[in-house]
Structure 1
Amino acid sequence: MTGDELPRLGAWVKLPAPESVELLALAGLDFAVIDAEHGAIDIRTMATMIAMARGCGIAPFVRVPGTAPRDVQVPLDAGAAGLFVPQIDSVAQAHEAVRAVRFPPLGERGASTSGRAGQWGRTPLSDYLRSGNNDVRLVVQAESVTALSAIGEIGAVAGIDAVFIGPMDLAVSGQFQEGSPEMADLITAAEQSCADHCIPLGTVASGHAAELLQRRGYDFLVLGADTTILRQAAHALVNSARAATLGARR
């Protein structure tokens, strides 16, 4: 995820089923975010999803629950293309995320080439370390008034690749009403700050909002979750079938 690319499209994966990743890849998405923060996905299933994504040509990201070594080490060793780290409210927390995710000298991540990230021991240690610091993407989520107010400084921390604005948690933490002009102004100011600092920016989008957000300068968008996509498609299918049935009876 870099600022010079066309906006990339992805989705959350919340169902503990590797087939969700496969289906999202077949739909043409660029990346999937395996949700270990809100989804009931165990470590083994996560590792299988990462392998499935790589086999299907879709980039596997993991949204981790925190920055403890166990939170970040397992998905990275399993071959995740990057991590989404939630609720980063300050520069200090941004540095903490970098320390957990990056190898020295940027961070303190433990090294082991024996996993998928090291091609099961085949990758030389120097290449494994270089890839972990240069190729793995670290996306921090700004989900509070405090975070959005400091988004330029947070995104500028060395080792962070992009910032993701989480509007739902922002609304909850700031006690904003839906469609609040105060919240809209806060997001607009954060967008401008990221543009001024050349920080790649992402958020969630649905329907026609994706086109608008791309025009506003977002570099990557999460178009909902596998659960939502399934529910909405099933709802539309059922409504269509019921309407057809009623029409046939007339």
Structure 2
Amino acid sequence: MTAPWSAARPALGTWIKVPAPEVVEVLAMAGLDFLVIDGEHGTFDVRTMATMISAARGHGIPAFVRVAGHAPRDVQPALDSGAAGLFLPHVDSVDIARTVVESCRFPPLGNRGASPNTRAGNWGGLTAAPYLATGDEVTVVAQIECEEAVADAESIAAVPGIDAVFIGAFDLAVSAGLKPGGEDARALVQRTEAACRASGLSFGGVAASGADAAVLLERGNHFVMVGSDVGFLGKGGREAASEARAGVQRPQEAESSGVVAR
């Protein structure tokens, strides 16, 4: 496994929701450690996703894909396109974790389909042994997103072929009927962190800001997802609009103060 994070060097990533290679190029130069193309909640076709992975590889930054499901048809395009790893949503049980491994790993651990004539195989440039070895380098991240999964977190993390656990705080709160970001939801996240820590496997979470990410890193998270491309875009736009309006006297305000607007 070749992950962009370790216990000694935690990593920062962000979600990409916009299906455009240029977004990858911009964020590759932002000082992040990895990117995750969000195929679960984004509107990505296979061709665009593959091009974005290629752009990330060209910039030397690992590109993961959050896929929509656990079946071979969900994971194969991203794996063949050379993704550094996959985030798998709603790995709610040990059985689902085993299904994930079956789809993502080459035999004997799994049953992933093999074709060296893909980007993952250097377009046929790799012979069988080194090509199959690349399957071990793909980082498989199981997302914990419901209370049942929290109770089973140590067992899920122990499934051979699972490399890391991601704590999906928003879905976790919603599934438990809690207010996202509220005190009870935060306690549930920390309970999940404790279970992951006990497993000895790498784990990470999600933060709305750099300051929030620092808190998670202090708590021992090995990686943190900070914001998203659309979040950065929206925040930048709002701040620019607010700053511009704050610095300009509206005509009616100027007139009421005796100043003639021109």
Aligned AA (2:57): R
The offset of 1:179, in angstroms, is 4.0
2:189 counterpart of 1:218: no
* Higher Cα radius of gyration: 2
Written as runs of structure 1 = structure 2, the 5 A alignment for 1:94-173 is 94-132=97-135, 134-173=136-175
The offset of 1:168, in angstroms, is 1.0
Written as runs of structure 1 = structure 2, the 5 A alignment for 1:75-90 is 75-90=78-93
Aligned AA (2:156): I
Aligned AA (2:123): W
**What percent identity do the matched residue pairs reach?**
48
Aligned AA (1:150): D
2:99 and 2:116 mapped to 1: Cα distance? 23
2:181 and 2:30 mapped to 1: Cα distance? 30
The offset of 1:28, in angstroms, is 1.1
2:249 and 2:103 mapped to 1: Cα distance? 58
2:250 and 2:202 mapped to 1: Cα distance? 50
The offset of 1:103, in angstroms, is 0.4
Deviations 1:16-75 (Å, cap 9, x if unpaired)?
111111111111111111111110111000000000000111101000001221211111
Aligned AA (2:198): D
Counting matched residue pairs gives 249
* Greater alpha carbon shift after TM alignment, 240-249 vs 173-182: 240-249
Deviations 1:126-171 (Å, cap 9, x if unpaired)?
1111110x21000010000111121111111100110000111111
1:23 aligns with: 26
1:85 and 1:64 mapped to 2: Cα distance? 6
1:120 and 1:199 mapped to 2: Cα distance? 33
2:247 counterpart of 1:244: yes
RMSD: 1.5
Secondary structure at 2:69's aligned position in 1? coil
2:192 aligns with: 190
1:53 aligns with: 56
Aligned AA (1:195): R
TM-score (norm 2): 0.91
2:131 and 2:185 mapped to 1: Cα distance? 42
Conserved? CA contact 2:65–2:78, under 8 Å: yes
1:74 and 1:178 mapped to 2: Cα distance? 33
The offset of 1:247, in angstroms, is 9.0
Aligned AA (2:110): G
Conserved? CA contact 1:113–1:125, under 8 Å: yes
Conserved? CA contact 1:3–1:198, under 8 Å: no
Aligned AA (2:86): L
Conserved? CA contact 1:37–1:64, under 8 Å: yes
* Greater alpha carbon shift after TM alignment, 178-187 vs 98-107: 178-187
The offset of 1:206, in angstroms, is 2.3
1:202 aligns with: 204
TM-score (norm 1): 0.95
